[in-house]
Structure 1
C-alpha cells in the first residue's frame, strides 16, 4: 500500500508538470495578465492601509484645530477612492480570470476527453487541473503582489491628486507593509482558484464522449436558466430605470440601474455575443474577402473564444461609461436642483478680503438702483472637540430685513434677525453648534466657536433660520452681523446677489460693474453661475479618471491574454491552413479581423446597455424638471475606449498570429 502511494505521487506531479510545459505559451500569457491584476490590487490595498494609518500626516500638535481637520480631509477622500478601486479591481479580476480560465479549458476539451478515456477519474482530473493552474497563478500572483508593494510610493503619487493632497499642502508618503502584500496574495489566490474550480468542475461533469465531440454552431444552445435569468434581469432593468418610483432618489435609482445593467450584460453575454458577431460578421465577410469570411466562421464556431475577447470590451465600456454617466448625472442633477431656486439675476463672487465695501459703493453708484441686493461675507470656523467645520456668514442687518420677494435672505423659523448684534447669532435649524448637548440648537442656547488661532468665542442663539435657496456655496451654519463676531476665520468668500427691476436692466448693470477696477471678482448672470457651479462639480470628480485608467488597463490585459491564448491553442490549425496554400498574410489578417469582430460585437452590446442607462437618466431629469441640456452623455470617453480596444485587439492578433505560426514552422522543421 505504501509503495503504491509512493509511486503514484511522482507520476501525478510529473503529469502536472508535463501539461504545464506543453501549454506554457498560454500559461505565460495568463500569468502576465494575472500579474498585472495582482500588481494593481496589491498597490491599491497598500495605499488603502497607508491612508488608514495616515502616512505623511504632520504632527497634529503643531497644527490648529482647523488645520488638523483640513489635513485629515484628503485622507477621508482617499479612503473612499481606494475602497472603490480595490473592490473594482478584485471584481474585474474575478470576472475576467473566470472567463479566461473557462476559455482555455474549453480549448482543451478533446485533451480532457482523451484523459477520461485513458482511465482518469473526475476527481483526479479536477485535482490535476487545479494543480496545473496553481503553478502559473501562484508565481504570477506572488510576483505581482511583490511589485505592487514596491510600487506603493509611485501609486501614492497617482492617488494623491484625486484625493486632494496637493490642495491641502500635504505630501502623502505611503509606507510599504509586508502583511498587506501577503494578505493580497492570499486574497488573489483564493479569487483565482475559485474561478479555476468553477471552470474545471464544468468539464469534470461532462462525459468523455461529449468532450471529444465538436459541437456545431446550431447545436450549441444557451441553457434555460440563463435565458430565464436574462429575461428577469431585463424586466428589472426596465422597472428600475423607467417606473415612476417617487420614493427612490435619482442617485439610488441610477446606481441600482447601473449594477443591474452590468449583471444583465454579463449573464446574457453568450446570447448577445453570438447574435452580435453573426450579424456584424456579415459586413466583415462582405468587405474582408477570404480573411473576413474565415474570421466570421471562426467567431461563430469558437463561441468561447469570442466570449473571452468580447467580454473585456463589454465589461469595460458598460461598467466605466455607466458609472461615469451616473456620477456625472448625480453631480449635475444635485447641483441644478440646489441652484434652480436662485432668484438673483446677477451673482458677484470673490475670494479676496476687502472687496465688500468696494462692491457696495459701486452698486450704490449705479444709474439704476437694483430691486434687491444681498451681500454675505463668509469664513470657515470650527467647534471645540468636533470634527465638523462650520461656515459663518456676515450680512447687513438692513438687507436681511428686506421684505422684497426677490431678496436672497434666510427664512426665519424661530426668533428674529433684528436681535442680531454683539455675541448674538442665528443658526441653521440643522446646526449642532450649541453646547446644550442636543443634536440641534434652540433659542437661548449658547454656541462655542473657534477661529483660526483656536481662540474661543461664545454667542447666544437668537434666531433659527434656513439658508437662502439656490446658493449651495452659502450653507450659512451661523449668521452674524458686523460687530457680532470678529472676522477671524479661514477661507474668506464673498457672494453678492443682485435682482434687477426689469430684464432689460441686467446687461447695463453688469457692464457698469464690469468696468469697475475690481480685483479677483466674478460678475456672472444666473445661468453662467449655475453652469460654472455644475462644471466645478464635474471637474472635481478626479477619482473617475483613476477608475477609467485602472479599468482600461485590466480590460486590455485580459483581452490581449484571451487573443494570445486563442491563437496559441490554434497554432497547429493555422499551420495546416498554411500548408494547404493559405498565405501567412491572409491567416494573420483573418486573426486580426476575427478579434476586431469580437471587440466590435462587445462594443455594440455595451452601447445598448449604456443607451438604456442614458434613457433612464433623461427620464429622471425630465421628472425632476431639469433641462435636457444638462444630460451627461460621455460619448467621447466611450468612443476613445472603443477605438483603443479595437486597435490593440487587431494589432495583438496580427502579432500573435505571425509569432505562433513562425514557432510552429520552426518546431516542425519547415
Structure 2
C-alpha cells in the first residue's frame, strides 16, 4: 500500500525527484564505469603469458591507476548521492509536516519517504548501469590511445560490476533518505509547518560525533606522520581530505552560518546583500547540502593537485641533493657500459641491474622489481647512503630497502626476508641497510649486483659518470657525446631538469585520469543541486516580485545567494587544501636543504572559478525562467 503511494507520488512529482534521479544515475554510472574497467583489466591480465613481464608490469600499473580512480569516483558518488537525497527530503519539510497534520504517523512518513527513494533509486540504478556499460568501451579506447593501458583490452562481462554499482547506489540513496526522513518524522505537525520556513542550525548527537571523529582522525594522521616518508604523505593526501570533507559537512549547519556572516562582514548596508545573507542563514541545512558538492571537489581535487606538485618538488630536491656524478648517460646498449668502463677519463660509471623479485611468502607478482648495485659505485655516482645500517655490507645474500618501503612492508633492519626471483629461485635475504628514498635515482629494494646478475638482471640503461681527476664535466659531456652517438649524454643539472619536467607532465596526466571523471560528475552535481534548490523556491521568487522587487533584483539576489554558498564552500575547500598540503610538506622535505616550491595556481584557480560559474548559472537559469513565466499576481494564488 505505502509503496504504491510512493510510486504514485513520484509519478505526479517528476520534476521534484528529477534532481535525485540525475545525481544517483550518474553516480551509479561512475561507479559502474570504474568497476567495469578494473574487471576488464583483471580478466585480461589472467590471459597474459606469465613470461611477458613487460606487459604484466604495464597492466599492474594500469590496475593501480584504476584503483585510485575507483576510490575517488566511489567517494564522490556516495557522498553526493547521500547529500542530494538528504537535501530532497529536507526541502519537503512543509509537505511532510502537512502529512503529519492530517494524521499520518511518524512510521508512515518514514515508509513513504523510503518507498519514494526506492522507486527513484531503482530507476536511476538501471539507467546508470546502462550508461556505465556504454561508456566503458569508449574509456578503454581512450586509455589505449593515450598510452594509459597496454594493448587492446576487451570489455569483460559487465554483470558483476553492474550488480556492485547498482547495489551501492540504491543502498546509499536509501540510507540518505532514511536519515533525513527519520529527522522529519520526529517533528510534531505544527512545528514541522514552522520549520518549513526556517531551520534551526542544531544537529543531532550522532551527526556531531561523526563529524568530530572524522575531523580529529584526519588531524591525528596529518600530525602523526613521521619525517622522511614522502610516499605515505602522498597517500594521506588522497585519504585525509575525504575525512575532512565528511567532517565539515556533518557540522555544516553549525559552521556555515558563521562563515556566511564572515563573508558578508561590512556589506550589510546593501539591501540585496543583507537579504541574501538572511536567506542563506535561515536555511543552514539547505546551505550545507548546496555547498557539499563544491566543498568535496574543491577540497579533494585541490589537495591532490597541490600534493602532487609538492611531491615533484620533493623528488627534485632529493635528486639534486643526493646525485654526485656531474654527467649522466642514458640509452645505448651493453657496449655503452663496456666503453665507459674502458675509458681512462672516466673515474666512476655507476649503473644498476633491474631484476624481478618478490618480497615475502606470497612469491613474485607483476611489477615486483629490485635493483642490483655496487654499493661503492652507487655512493660515488648517485650518493646512495644508509639511513640506518651499513650499505657496505650489501654482499652475498643481503638486501637494502628504502625508508618508505620499510614502513609499508613492515621490514626492519636485521630482518631475514624470504624473496622470489623472476627465475623462480627462492632465497632468504638479510636486511643490512635502510636507505634514504630517491625514486628517480634508485629502486626501493636494492640487492648486491652479483646476485642480480645470477638471476637474470637487466641493465637500467642509465650510467652516472664521475670524470677522472683533471677532466672537467663539460669536456666529459663533449667527449662522450662524440664517442657514444647512440646514447644521450647530459650534464647532471640538465638531466635532473628533464626528469622533473617529465614527472610534472606525468602528474598532469595522472590528475586528468584520476580527477577527470569525478570532476565532471561533481560539476554536474553542483549544477543539479543548485537547480533543484532554485526550482523549489518558485513561490518565494514570485512573492518577492509581489512586494515590489524587480525581475532584475530577484536575479541579482539569486546570484548573491549562489555566490555566498559557493564562497563558503570554496573557503572551506581552500582551508582543507592549504592545511593538508602544508602539514604534509614538512615531513616530506625534512632533511633536505634546497627544495623548490611550485604552486600550480592555474589549476587551483580554475577549480574555484568553475565552481562559482556553474553554481551561479545553475541557480539563475531556473529563477529567470520562473520569473518570466509568471506574474506577481500569481503569488497570491500560490
Q: TM-score, normalized by length of structure 2?
A: 0.80
- Give the equivalent residue in structure 2 for 1:418: none
1:374 aligned residue (349, 366, 374): 349
Secondary structure in 1 matching 2:323: coil
Deviation by residue 1:310-332 (Cα, 9 ceiling, x = unmatched): 11111111122223444555565
Tell whether the 8 Å contact from 1:345 to 1:506 is kept in structure 2 after alignment: yes
TM alignment of 1:290-305, pairs within 5 A: 291-305=272-286
Could you tell which deviates more after superposition, 650-659 or 533-542?
Answer: 533-542
- Give the equivalent residue in structure 2 for 1:34: 24
| 1:147 and 2:128 are equivalent in the alignment | no
Cα deviation for residue 480 of structure 1 reads 5.1
Cα deviation for residue 598 of structure 1 reads 0.7
Q: Which runs of 5 or more residues in structure 1 are unaligned? A: 1-8, 416-425, 432-437, 442-446, 451-455
**Could you tell me how far apart the structure 1 residues matched to 2:434 and 2:117 are?**
62
Deviation by residue 1:478-500 (Cα, 9 ceiling, x = unmatched): 6359xx97999767613132157
Tell whether the 8 Å contact from 1:407 to 1:499 is kept in structure 2 after alignment: no
Q: Are residues 657 and 491 of structure 1, via their aligned partners in 2, closer, same or farther at CA, if it must alter by over 3 Å?
A: farther
1:267 aligned residue (229, 250, 272): 250
- Give the equivalent residue in structure 2 for 1:654: 620
Could you tell which deviates more after superposition, 513-522 or 318-327?
Answer: 513-522
Cα deviation for residue 223 of structure 1 reads 5.4
Question: How many residue pairs align between the two structures?
Answer: 605
TM alignment of 1:256-655, pairs within 5 A: 257-282=240-265, 291-326=272-307, 329=310, 333=314, 337=318, 340-352=321-333, 354-356=335-337, 359=340, 364=344, 372-376=347-351, 378=353, 387=365, 411-413=391-393, 429=399, 471-472=441-442, 477=447, 479=449, 493-498=461-466, 505-507=472-474, 509-510=476-477, 513=480, 518-525=485-492, 527-541=493-507, 542-622=509-589, 624-627=590-593, 629-631=595-597, 633-655=599-621
Q: What do you get for the CA RMSD once the two structures are aligned?
A: 4.5
Q: Are residues 21 and 597 of structure 1, via their aligned partners in 2, closer, same or farther at CA, if it must alter by over 3 Å?
A: same
**Could you tell me how far apart the structure 1 residues matched to 2:171 and 2:381 are?**
63
Deviation by residue 1:433-483 (Cα, 9 ceiling, x = unmatched): xxxxx9569xxxxx9976xxxxx9x9x99x9998998631696646359xx
TM alignment of 1:151-170, pairs within 5 A: 151-160=135-144, 164-166=148-150, 170=151
Q: Are residues 596 and 239 of structure 1, via their aligned partners in 2, closer, same or farther at CA, if it must alter by over 3 Å?
A: same
Secondary structure in 1 matching 2:461: strand
Deviation by residue 1:170-203 (Cα, 9 ceiling, x = unmatched): 2212234234323422331112111111111111
**Could you tell me how far apart the structure 1 residues matched to 2:76 and 2:66 are?**
15
**Could you tell me how far apart the structure 2 residues matched to 1:351 and 1:667 are?**
83
Tell whether the 8 Å contact from 2:354 to 2:460 is kept in structure 1 after alignment: yes
**Could you tell me how far apart the structure 2 residues matched to 1:616 and 1:377 are?**
35
Tell whether the 8 Å contact from 1:427 to 1:465 is kept in structure 2 after alignment: no
| 1:123 and 2:104 are equivalent in the alignment | no
Cα deviation for residue 665 of structure 1 reads 5.5
**Could you tell me how far apart the structure 2 residues matched to 1:185 and 1:229 are?**
26
- Give the equivalent residue in structure 1 for 2:405: none
**Could you tell me how far apart the structure 2 residues matched to 1:468 and 1:567 are?**
58
Bigger radius of gyration: 1
**Could you tell me how far apart the structure 1 residues matched to 2:611 and 2:514 are?**
16
Cα deviation for residue 122 of structure 1 reads 0.9
| 1:86 and 2:74 are equivalent in the alignment | no
Q: Which runs of 5 or more residues in structure 2 are unaligned? A: 386-390, 402-415
Tell whether the 8 Å contact from 1:282 to 1:296 is kept in structure 2 after alignment: no
Q: Are residues 615 and 661 of structure 1, via their aligned partners in 2, closer, same or farther at CA, if it must alter by over 3 Å?
A: same
Q: Are residues 103 and 552 of structure 1, via their aligned partners in 2, closer, same or farther at CA, if it must alter by over 3 Å?
A: same
**Could you tell me how far apart the structure 1 residues matched to 2:561 and 2:333 are?**
61
- Give the equivalent residue in structure 1 for 2:411: none
Deviation by residue 1:382-405 (Cα, 9 ceiling, x = unmatched): 89x95466678698xxxx988996
Could you tell which deviates more after superposition, 505-514 or 35-44?
Answer: 505-514
Deviation by residue 1:523-581 (Cα, 9 ceiling, x = unmatched): 122x5444444554444454432221122122222221221111111111112223343
